[in-house]
A and B are shown apart, each in its own frame.
Chain A
Amino acid sequence: MTEIQFYILISIAVMLLLFVSFLLAFAFSQRKKLKYQHEMQDLRETQQNQLIEAAVRSEEIERHRIAEALHDEVGAILSSSKLHLQGIKTASLDERDKLLHEKGKELLDEGIQKVRGISHNLHSNILKEFGLNEAIQHFMATITQGTLIKATTSLDENYTTQNPENDISIYRMVQELVNNILKHSHAKEITISSSYIDNQLLITIFHDGNGLSQQQFEEYRYKKEGLGLKNIMNRIILLRGEIIFSSAADGSRIIIHIPVKTIA
Chain B
Amino acid sequence: MFTEIKAWLEVWALFIPLVVLLIKKKQPGYLKPVIIYLWLALIINLLANISWKFKAHYNFPVWFQTNTYFYNLHSVVRFFLFSWFFIKLGQPFLSTLKKIIPVLFLIFIFVNFIFFQDFFDFKIISSRLLSIEAGLLLLYCLQYYLYLLKEEEPFFTKLPSFWIVTGLSIFVVAGFPIYLFYDAAAEQSKYFIINIWIVQKTAFLIFCLFIANAFMKQSHD
Contacts and interface: CB of A to CB of B under 8 A. Distances in A.
Contact of B149 (A15, A18, A29): A29
B176 interface: yes
A15 B178 CA distance: 11
B153 interface: yes
Contact of A4 (B152, B174, B181): B181
A22 B153 CA distance: 16
Interface string B179-197: 0110011001100100010
Q: Could you say which of A11, A12, A23, A26 has the most chain B C-beta atoms within 10 Å of its C-beta?
A: A12
Interface in A3-18: 4-5, 7-9, 11-12, 15-16, 18
A15 B185 contact: no
A222 interface: no
Contact of A26 (B145, B181, B192): B145
B178 A34 contact: no
Interface string B45-64: 00000000000000000000
Contact of A2 (B153, B176, B189): B189
B154 A19 contact: no
Nearest to B155: A34
A9 B185 CA distance: 11
Interface string B195-217: 01001000000000000000000
A58 B184 CA distance: 82
Given A4-B181, A11-B181, A16 B174 contact: yes
A113 interface: no
B124 interface: no
Given A5-B188, A26-B149, A19 B196 contact: no
A184 interface: no
A198 to B, nearest CB: 34
B68 interface: no
Contacts of B148: 26, 30
B134 to A, nearest CB: 10
A37 B154 contact: yes
Contacts of A4: 181, 184-185, 188
Contacts of A34: 154-155
B20 interface: no
Nearest to A29: B149
A98 interface: no
Interface stretch (B23-31, B88-96, B165-173): B165-173
Contacts of A19: 169-170, 173
Contacts, number: 60
A15 B155 contact: no
**Interface size grouping (class) on chain B:** 20 to 34
B196 A23 contact: no
B181 A8 contact: yes
Contact of B199 (A5, A12, A27, A29): A12
Interface in A66-118: none
Interface string A26-40: 110111011001000
Given A8-B185, A26-B149, A15 B173 contact: yes
B108 interface: no
B152 to A, nearest CB: 5
Contacts of A5: 185, 188-189, 192, 196
B154 A30 contact: yes
Interface string B125-157: 000000000000000000001001100111110
Contacts of A15: 173-174, 176-177
A23 B166 contact: yes
Nearest to B186: A4
A15 B188 CA distance: 23
A30 B156 contact: yes
5 contacts: A4-B181, A7-B181, A15-B174, A16-B173, A22-B145
Interface of B: 145, 148-149, 152-156, 166, 169-170, 173-174, 176-178, 180-181, 184-185, 188-189, 192, 196, 199
Given A2-B188, A8-B177, 6 more contacts: A5-B188, A8-B181, A23-B166, A27-B156, A37-B152, A37-B154
List the 8 shortest-distance A-B pairs measured between CB atoms, nearest first. Answer: A11-B177, A34-B154, A19-B173, A15-B173, A8-B181, A12-B177, A4-B184, A33-B154
Interface of A: 2, 4-5, 7-9, 11-12, 15-16, 18-19, 22-23, 26-27, 29-31, 33-34, 37
